[in-house]
Structure 1
Amino acid sequence: MFPSDVIASFNELETSLYDYICKNGEKVIYMRIRDLADETHVSTSTILRFCRKINCEGFSEFKVKLKMYLDENKDRKVKSSQYAVTEFFERTLNGNLDAAIREAASLIVESDNLIFIGSGSSGILAEYGARYFSSLGKFSMYVKDPYMPIHANFLENCTTIALSVNGENTFTISHIDQLKQKGSKIISITNNKHCTIGKMSDVNISYYVTEEWFQHSNITTQVPVVYILEETAREIQKLSQESRQI
């Protein structure tokens, strides 16, 4: 609604007007221009100049845009994740998730080194995954910095597990690209396979739950990711045990 470069261009009167609107938006959308002028102690011409600066032809258009902005940014009630989780586990029983997990586990078992990457909440789970895999006998490391020096020998027979909800995170995409160029195989865990990270991967495990947003933050449940990580780690441990018995 108010770009930073436009805010920077406001003079003293326009800044006081902007401050009032930010604090009283729900009230302003029902005011006449004269009412706002009286409340803020500015002239109607100042208000009209303010409107033009934010690409509105007049005060009426400004009120319409302000109302739309306020409606879009109203606090939404956070839904229970129970439905999404139940839906995921129902699909798990009837789908091919187990096959994808086995394929990923087989690839990891043959690898000498394992790296986890991700950012934001996916980065937190990537760090958890590295610890969980290590606890089950497959030493892993979480690499946060895409420019962290990694010896070429470490990447010679390496697999990277990349975590991302929408699969379009530019930081993770850049990280994957660099690791692929150095010879690492890529396993991705994303919400759907038709995404950039999914297409860059040798194996993609997708979980398909409804994405949920709250105040511009992605709060999609991560329970499926924890399940996939733990099941994959257990499958690796099982395959490793079987290979030792042969």
Structure 2
Amino acid sequence: MQDILNIILSKFDSLSDSNQQIAKIILRYPDEIPKYKITELANKSSVSISTVTKFCKFFNLEGFDELKYMIKYRSSTGNIEDKLLLTLSTTHLNIASKINSVVKLINKNSKIYIFAKSNSANIAFDFYYKISKIRPNVIFERDSLLIDDAVSKITNGVVILVSNSANSYICNVAEKLHSNRKVKIISVTNNTNSKLNNLSDITLCGIPFEIDSTIKQYLPFNSKYSLMYILDLFFYTYFQLDYNKNLDKLLQCRLKVNEFF
């Protein structure tokens, strides 16, 4: 069976504004849609029931029930490149409107803390490595004891929490910081339903489409690329704020390395 999500994404730019609202909800919560009533999708999309019905007709479906069927029984296997493209494209749709707000937030705060655990920490470190080249006062920790110690001393600044699953430890970190309104929390995750989202000032949430449910549980593949895409878009948008100045900083770093060797 064709993956209806790929079809919706491929036609996204040609959809009307109201149909794009419906498409965004479907692409954001594909595993939840088969449980919805048509009124729920209409309400979440801020459109009428008749608009949802017309949306289904646009994709040559009999109605909302067939749309739910197509989503529920879409192929869980298939071309890796297609799944990865779907992941990155849908993730972009989900975060694009928030990136500028995130960049402005870190631009006006002098200190940035980046905390992550396990596999997510490898991806977070790459972001830390790049952004620390062009601005000072960036702190990265991946060890629980060091994170706990840092959290106990934070009085202001921006904290970026990177966690694929938004695990309980990262949520606990967010809870400790949430009451201090001088600390702004940005979460980067692939869990659309985590309480971490409610504890964050801004959430950048990816939408990975894993090839297989077993891979999704034990060896997340597309999830990794979703987090990488979010943080890379985050970094390059920040870099563009003052491109020439930041480029000079990178060149100065390179010169210092060459002098050292």
TM-score, scaled relative to structure 1: 0.56
Please name the residue that 2:225 is paired with.
223
With over 3 angstroms needed to count, the CA separation of the structure-2 counterparts of 1:122 and 1:92, relative to structure 1, is: closer
* Contact 2:164–2:227 (8 Å) recurs in 1: no
Instruction: Tell me the CA shift for residue 242 of structure 1.
Output: 9.6
Q: Could you report, residue by residue, the CA deviation over 1:22-60 in whole angstroms, capped at 9, with x for unpaired residues?
A: xxxxxxxxxxxxxxxxxxxxxxxxxxxxxxxxxxxxxxx
Please name the residue that 1:130 is paired with.
128
Please name the residue that 2:209 is paired with.
210
Structure in which a larger fraction of residues adopt helix: 2
Matches within 5 A, 1:1-246: 81-91=80-90, 95-137=93-135, 139-148=137-146, 149-150=149-150, 155-167=154-166, 169-181=167-179, 183-211=182-210, 212-214=213-215, 217-221=218-222, 222-240=224-242
Instruction: Tell me the CA shift for residue 124 of structure 1.
Output: 1.5
Letter in 2 for 1:150: A
Letter in 2 for 1:238: Q
* Contact 1:113–1:155 (8 Å) recurs in 2: no
Letter in 1 for 2:200: S
| Distance (Å, rounded) in 1 between the aligned partners of 2:174 and 2:151 | 16
With over 3 angstroms needed to count, the CA separation of the structure-2 counterparts of 1:192 and 1:150, relative to structure 1, is: closer
Q: What is the count of residue pairs matched by the alignment? A: 165
* Contact 1:116–1:161 (8 Å) recurs in 2: yes
Computing the radius of gyration over CA atoms, which structure comes out larger, 1 or 2? 1
Of all paired residues, the percent bearing the same amino acid is 17
With over 3 angstroms needed to count, the CA separation of the structure-2 counterparts of 1:155 and 1:164, relative to structure 1, is: same
Letter in 1 for 2:127: G
Instruction: Tell me the CA shift for residue 178 of structure 1.
Output: 2.4
Q: Could you report, residue by residue, the CA deviation over 1:136-172 in whole angstroms, capped at 9, with x for unpaired residues?
A: 43542212244433387x73331111112222x1111
* Contact 1:104–1:187 (8 Å) recurs in 2: yes
| Distance (Å, rounded) in 1 between the aligned partners of 2:165 and 2:232 | 21
Please name the residue that 1:8 is paired with.
none
Gaps of 5+ in 2: 1-76, 247-261
Letter in 2 for 1:231: L
| Distance (Å, rounded) in 2 between the aligned partners of 1:228 and 1:145 | 23
| Distance (Å, rounded) in 2 between the aligned partners of 1:151 and 1:196 | 19
- Counterpart of 1:127 in 2: which secondary structure? helix
Instruction: Tell me the CA shift for residue 97 of structure 1.
Output: 2.3
* Contact 2:115–2:160 (8 Å) recurs in 1: yes
Gaps of 5+ in 1: 1-77
* Contact 2:114–2:159 (8 Å) recurs in 1: yes
| Distance (Å, rounded) in 2 between the aligned partners of 1:208 and 1:214 | 15
Letter in 2 for 1:110: K
| Distance (Å, rounded) in 1 between the aligned partners of 2:243 and 2:235 | 12
Please name the residue that 2:60 is paired with.
none
- Counterpart of 1:135 in 2: which secondary structure? coil
